[in-house]
Structure 1
Amino acid sequence: MKQVGPDLICLSHLRWNFVFQRPNHLMSRFAQEKRVYFVEEPVFDDAPPRLETKHVEANLTIVVPHLTTGTDQEASLAQQRRLIGSLVREQDIRQPILWIYTPMSLPIAADVEPSVVVYDCMDELSAFRGAPPALRERERELFSRADLVFTGGQSLYEAKRAQHPSVHAFPSSVDAAHFARAREGVEDPEDQRGVARPRLGFFGVIDERMDLELIARVADERPDFQIVMLGPVVKIDPASLPQRPNIHWLGQKSYKDLPAYLGGWDVAIMPFALNESTRFISPTKTLEYLAAGKPVVSTAIRDVVTPYGERKAVHIADATTFVAAVEAALAEPKEARLAIADEMVSATSWDKTWRSMSKLINEALQTKRSAVVRTEGNVPCSTI
């Protein structure tokens, strides 16, 4: 495979094998044309500091720093910085694209000499539970170093665009062909097979963004509705999950299996709480649900209301109207619904998003190279 442009080092707060989402889609595509090193947050054990590397695709390497248990934050950053430096030397990585998902990782890349710095701001991390107090200051520093800032949605773009001269909105996209398999009558997974109908389904991370009271309320108002919840429980006590005979917590599922679960749902739901942690989210699952051909009901997340609610692709509801919205979704004509869904899904793809991002990166590279040439051309003769 011919290498196109410099290598890419991605610093992520999300683990590659957590939930297959934006970083996975983008890095897999960049790996089609360049070496990609996906650096996760550290894990701690009793061994000396080291790097664990794993090749998951031909050009894609997952890098996990292992630090000694008990290492304090300052020493942890210093050790990661040294480990990343050793990776750059051993792999002969020269002037890579430095792609950052969390500003908190900025110090560990201090010795990397990037050709371009990209901040892919997919969420407002400072609004999440347990966010480090220093995150906002680190983000200001990252804005000062970044050449490009991408945002995971329109509302996040509006919040960030005044903080950097080159901010670009890239709402989460979709692998339409993958989720369209749900329309093909796929076999119901074993742990869902015994669940009665109608089924209301959700997949994704189950954390402080989830409106657990709403889920319980829907289950109580309509005991005949079977609510299927897929995904890891993170940052909240699993004991806080409402337990009802018609709520089914089935755990995390692999990305490849999601269409099979979706295929057995009657309505796909997004029961998000409306709070600081959901103020700027742009749920990837919106388009995935639509690609699967399912009617969708969501709470009033801003980036769902516009454009999906306004285009009648998604039913928008609150706690008092959610059941009625599900009933309306179940009753709506399938042909008209699919026409709207297909129109919205066809407008984007992860391939299109990746190509657009690549174009901006290449333009930034060219601009910086041209600036270097101009600067070198202006060196006084006496210094040559």
Structure 2
Amino acid sequence: MKSFDTEEYSFPHDKQIVEVHEDDNIDTLVCFSPIKWESVFQRPQHLMSHASKKWRVFYIEDPIFGVTTPEPELNIKELKKYKNLFVVSVRLPAELSASETIKTMESLLAKLCNDYKIENFGTWYYSIKSIRYTARLYPRVVIYDCINLIRNTQPALIDTENELISQTDLVFTNGKTIYDEKQNWHPQVYNFPSSIDKEHFMQARIELPEPSDQEEILFPRLGLYGAIDECLDIELLRALAARRPDWQFVLLGPIIGIDEDTLPKAENIHYLGEKPYQVLPSYISGWNAALLLVLTSKARQAHVPTRTPEYLAAFKPIVSTSVPDIISPYEAMGLVSTAENVFEFEAAIEEALSYNKRKEWKKTIDDFLKSHSWDVTWQQMRHLIKTNIIA
């Protein structure tokens, strides 16, 4: 593909081409995300798939730099499963400088806007760095969905985030810790904890056919799923597995950003890899309890374990490290147990293995989940978006 010049492809923000739905005021949402659409299905995918029911959505992934990419490549894939949802991936030559990257990305965005007549739109940011090449876009509303706190060791990224927030109409957060940090940074900050696809995970309340790679694993099984990354307390996992060789630890998810050789290895630790979202209930159904092994160092205090309501919907008791967004609301409501060290963890797991017999615990879960769904979350977000659209 040729490198598109911004002089050849200008951004179309003066003409009216796409029909505007009067009840929405915008017809397209352009989302910038560092999370690949095909990776672990999580908050960005849930929200953008809901957004696509009413608006066109262009989910633009952070560019990939490749030594075998001689020229910029813009790939656009319309997802058949969702109405009006397009995944946009970009590959750039590895040798591009920072300024060349910005210019090239501006060119590719201009081409995308022209080809798909993206004019009456809003922008939604997960990728903070993308603000560097979106200055020539003219959205009618800008949303920043903040799902992680930036560490003080990344001052340049903090400056970039400040620039993004200064241009934002709405800031959403996915947990109380992040909300408390951001609420004084912007006049419109709203906390929307990650929600749940209840019907999907409630399937795991009954015994489902065992996946072939899990069926031979002995019981009791203690499971977790999601990215296996720097937030995982691998030393706690190592210690638990050593102390209780009769317990089986099942981990589902890709290994991201850490050396695989550093992960604990034992006969009772099973790394089954990343699994499609659709089959997760089949795995969870065969677990006796779920674990949230999140590092509790200060650098990780803002980590929000988004899988918590999904485990609860499956009626799986949860034992977690002491993460602020787990302590409140989950532990405070008696839904989750937390522990400070390997000895407390072992005792809490022992107790958790009897939870499935507690009718009152299940009722508390169902009462809690009544007001939690991605559909409800999206409708509340969408209302705020509509009220902040620039006329």
- Look up the equivalent residue of 1:177 and give its one-letter code: E
Corresponding residue SS for 2:213: helix
Deviates more, 1:105-114 or 1:42-51: 42-51
Q: Is the Cα contact below 8 Å between 1:123 and 1:280 reproduced in 2?
A: yes
Look up the match of 1:327.
350
| Aligned partner letter, 2:142 | V
Where does residue 212 of structure 1 map in the other structure? 234
- Please list, as runs of the form range in 1=range in 2, the aligned pairs for 1:14-93 lying within 5 A after superposition: 14-45=35-66, 46-56=69-79, 57-93=82-118
Q: Given the alignment of the two structures, is residue 109 of structure 1 paired with residue 134 of structure 2, yes or no?
A: yes
Aligned residues: 364
SS in 2 for 1:36: strand
Distance in 2 (CA, whole Å) between partners of 1:127 and 1:188 is: 41
Distance 1:293 1:271 in 2: 19
Correspondence for 2:31 among 10, 18, 40: 10
Displacement of 1:220 after TM fit? Answer: 1.1
- What is the alpha-carbon distance in structure 1 between the residues aligned to residue 296 and residue 146 of structure 2? 20
The one-letter amino acid of 1:163's match is W
Could you report, residue by residue, the CA deviation over 1:337-360 in whole angstroms, capped at 9, with x for unpaired residues? 211211222221100110000000
Q: Does 1:196 align with 2:221?
A: no
| Counterpart amino acid of residue 137 in structure 2 | V
Equivalent residues of 2:20, 2:27 under 8 A apart = no
Task: Give the Cα separation in 2 of the matches to 1:335 and 1:278.
Answer: 34
- Equivalent residues of 2:62, 2:127 under 8 A apart: no
Query: How far is 1:132 from its partner?
Result: 5.6
Structure-2 separation of matches of 1:204 and 1:73: 32
CA distance in 1, matches of 2:205, 2:146: 33
* Counterpart in the other structure of 1:122: 147
Equivalent in the alignment of 2:360: 336
Corresponding position of 2:6? none
Where structure 1 has 5 or more consecutive residues not aligned to the other structure, the ranges are: 370-384
Match of 2:379 among 350, 355, 365: 355
Instruction: Find out whether 1:314 has 2:339 as its counterpart.
Output: no
- The alpha carbon displacement at 1:47 in A equals 3.1
The reply to whether residue 239 of structure 1 matches residue 261 of structure 2 is: yes
1:97 partner amino acid: G
Aligned residue for 2:159?
137
Question: Does the aligned pair in 2 maintain the 1:300–1:317 contact within 8 Å?
Answer: yes
Equivalent position amino acid for 1:16 in 2: W
Aligned-partner SS, 1:127: coil
Q: Following the alignment from structure 2 to structure 1, what is the Cα–Cα distance between the partners of residues 33 and 203?
A: 30
Q: Which residue of 2 aligns with 1:377?
A: none
Shift of 1:282: 1.9
TM-score, length-normalised on structure 2?
0.90
Deviations 1:286-333 (A, max 9, x none): 000000111111011100010100111001112230010000111233
- Aligned match for 1:269, one of 261, 285, 291: 291
Deviations along 1:9-50, one digit per CA (max 9) or x if unpaired, are: 000011101110000000001101111000001123423113
Task: List structure 1 runs of 4+ shifted beyond 6 angstroms.
Answer: none
Distance 1:207 1:277, change over 3 A: farther
The one-letter amino acid of 2:62's match is E
Letter in 1 for 2:319: V
* Structure with the higher fraction of residues in helix conformation: 1
Q: Report the counterpart of residue 382 of structure 1 in structure 2.
A: none
Q: SS of the residue aligned with 1:260?
A: helix
Matched AA of 2:286 = G
Q: Distance in 2 between matches of 1:156 and 1:69?
A: 34
State whether residues 292 and 320 of structure 2, in contact with CA within 8 Å, keep that contact through their aligned partners in structure 1: yes
Deviation, structure 1 residue 334: 2.9
**Deviation, structure 1 residue 275:** 2.0
Q: Distance in 2 between matches of 1:22 and 1:115?
A: 23
- Rounded to whole Å, the distance in 2 between the matches of 1:224 and 1:193 is 16
Cα distance between partner residues in 1 of 2:297 and 2:120: 40
Query: Greater shift after overlay, 14-23 or 276-285?
Result: 276-285
Match of 2:252 in 1: 230
Check conservation: 1:272, 1:299, Cα contact below 8 A: yes
Could you tell me whether the CA contact under 8 Å between 1:98 and 1:114 is conserved in 2?
yes
Matching residue of 1:170: 192
Matched-pair contact (CA < 8 Å) for 1:201–1:229: yes
Contact conserved, 2:172 with 2:190, CA < 8 A, in 1?
Answer: yes
